[in-house]
């Protein structure tokens, strides 16, 4: 009888639990070949999220409508007259900030490369994946598997992701770089201390 010391289950062998690219259990599924090209970018983006530690939040499927009053008087740097406070309308932030609910998500900003555009560490960016990434827009991009937020510039076939802080270099996309524009930043939520 021949005894082989390879193959089969062995104690301590194999991939450690939650140690793969996704840091959680995975499941093998069969996908039609026609869908592979549309699914793969989403998986790569999710992998980049896990790797970079960027926190991405989805928009609530059924947001609660909450109307906040808007007053007609303008904000002054002195002491405004209470008599000028006339209720003009109400505002629902969900309606005001989110135009394509299914394609919108939130990302927490990290770093200081976009402070010139008013984006600071910890700000919440509202990102719409359904918008076309046009030159001059601020975008969430994945460059060679790394997430970044920058201003998109397209000129004569060249693409540059521009920082809005002179202490940071722009990212000039070369032919060998893998670039995915994940969405267009439409708003920034910034809280003051």
By annotation, the residues acting in catalysis are: 113, 150
Q: How far apart are CA 42 and CA 105, in angstroms?
A: 14
Burial annotation 153-180 (CB, 10 A radius, 16+ → b, else e): eeeeeebbbbbbeeebeebebeeeeeeb
Tokens found for residue 183: 């969405």
Alpha-carbon distance 139 to 163, whole Å? 11
- In whole angstroms, give the CA distance from residue 145 to residue 101: 26
Pairing of strands 138-143, 158-162: unpaired
Cα distance between the two ends of the chain = 75
Number of other residues whose CB lies within 10 A of the CB of residue 76: 9
Specify the 3-state DSSP secondary structure of 162: strand
């Amino acid at each position: 009888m021949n005894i082989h010391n390879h193959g089969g289950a062995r104690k301590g062998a194999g991939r450690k639990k939650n140690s793969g690219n996704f840091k959680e259990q995975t499941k093998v599924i069969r996908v039609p070949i026609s869908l592979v090209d549309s699914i793969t970018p989403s998986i790569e983006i999710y992998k980049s999220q896990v790797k970079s530690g960027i926190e991405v939040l989805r928009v609530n499927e059924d947001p609660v409508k909450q109307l906040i009053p808007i007053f007609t008087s303008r904000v002054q740097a002195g002491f405004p007259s209470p008599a000028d406070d006339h209720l003009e309308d109400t505002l629902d932030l969900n309606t005001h900030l989110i135009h394509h609910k299914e394609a919108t998500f939130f990302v927490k900003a990290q770093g200081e490369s976009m402070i010139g555009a008013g984006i600071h560490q910890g700000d919440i960016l509202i990102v719409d994946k359904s918008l076309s990434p046009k030159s001059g827009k601020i975008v969430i991009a994945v460059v060679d598997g790394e997430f970044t937020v920058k201003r998109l510039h397209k000129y004569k076939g060249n693409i540059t992701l521009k920082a809005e802080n002179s202490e940071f270099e722009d990212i000039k996309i070369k032919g060998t770089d893998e670039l995915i524009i994940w969405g267009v930043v439409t708003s920034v939520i910034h809280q003051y201390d």
